[in-house]
């Protein structure tokens, strides 16, 4: 029997899942999304747009536009994401590459980067003392291959990463959608 797809809704530039068992399957088992509570204290899962595109592409979820009640195809959802975020194409390729390699990928927004990446097999939601919890291994920022960097940009990126004890990776996406990762670090003489 074919696996049933998880139902997700596109609403106000967000992708939401309300079903509790689907929330558990995606969040607790596979570490996708972030759990919030509505006004009635009922949990819901909010996916990053890149997470939703990945899960839609893999056939794990189906996305319904909450207002029009129409199913969104991968192509239409991808196009919608690109219209909302000019960096979406390279972010999607990098997210897909990292997830397909088995890494856990979360938003890096509050750390000044696209993604925080946890090592394979860890639990990023482990409870306990900070020193004993799983920690971000990499901060990853996705760029197209023709991006020109300034030294100030690279320096700021490395320092932000080192402040949270993560390694700074630059993910460069070429015209064939292949990803090359560059580790950037600061050396103290």
By percentage, how much of the chain surpasses pLDDT 70? Answer: 93
Residues 75 and 12 in one domain: yes
Q: What is the CATH number of the domain that holds 77?
A: 3.40.1170.20
Residues 100 and 172 in one domain: yes
Residues 95 and 176 in one domain: yes
Dist CA 156 CA 48 (whole Å): 25
Q: At what angle do helices 49-57 and 74-84 cross, to 10 degrees?
A: 160
Report the pLDDT averaged over residues 165-179.
93
Residues 95 and 179 in one domain: yes
Dist CA 112 CA 139 (whole Å): 9
Token pair listed for 98: 């990292």
Residues 79, 86 contacting (CB under 8 angstroms): no
In what helix (H) or strand (E) does residue 160 lie, and over which residues does it extend?
A: helix 151-163
Residues 153, 161 contacting (CB under 8 angstroms): no
| Residue 25: domain span | 6-84
Residues 69 and 18 in one domain: yes
pLDDT digits (tens, 9 = 90+) for 8-65: 999 989 999 999 999 999 998 889 999 998 888 899 999 999 999 999 999 999 999 9
Report the pLDDT averaged over residues 74-90.
97
> pLDDT: is 178 or 110 the higher one?
178
The answer to whether residue 189 is domain-embedded is: no
- Note the pLDDT of residue 175: 94
Domain boundary among 47, 67, 84: 84
Report the pLDDT averaged over residues 134-141.
87
The answer to whether residue 15 is domain-embedded is: yes
Residues 41 and 106 in one domain: no
Give backbone dihedrals phi and psi of 110, rounded to 5 degrees, phi first: -75, -5
- Note the pLDDT of residue 150: 84
Residues 92 and 165 in one domain: yes
Q: What is the CATH number of the domain that holds 111?
A: 3.40.1350.10
By percentage, how much of the chain surpasses pLDDT 90? Answer: 64
Query: Does position 77 have pLDDT exceeding 90, yes or no?
Result: yes
């Amino acid at each position: 029997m074919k696996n049933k797809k998880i139902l997700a809704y596109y609403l106000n530039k967000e992708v939401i899942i309300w079903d509790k068992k689907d929330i558990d399957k995606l969040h607790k088992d596979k570490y996708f999304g972030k759990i919030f509570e509505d006004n009635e204290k009922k949990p819901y899962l909010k996916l990053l747009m890149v997470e939703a595109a990945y899960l839609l592409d893999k056939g794990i979820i189906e996305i319904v536009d909450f207002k029009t009640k129409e199913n969104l195809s991968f192509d239409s959802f991808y196009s919608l994401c690109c219209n909302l975020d000019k960096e979406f194409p390279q972010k999607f390729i990098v997210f897909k590459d990292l997830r397909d390699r088995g890494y856990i990928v979360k938003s890096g927004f509050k750390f000044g980067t696209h993604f925080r990446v946890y090592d394979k097999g860890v639990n990023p939601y482990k409870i306990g003392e900070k020193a004993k919890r799983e920690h971000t291994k990499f901060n990853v920022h996705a760029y197209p291959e023709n991006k020109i960097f300034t030294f100030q940009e690279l320096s700021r990126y490395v320092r932000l990463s080192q402040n949270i004890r993560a390694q700074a990776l630059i993910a460069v996406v070429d015209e064939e959608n292949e990803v090359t990762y560059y580790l950037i670090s600061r050396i103290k003489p």
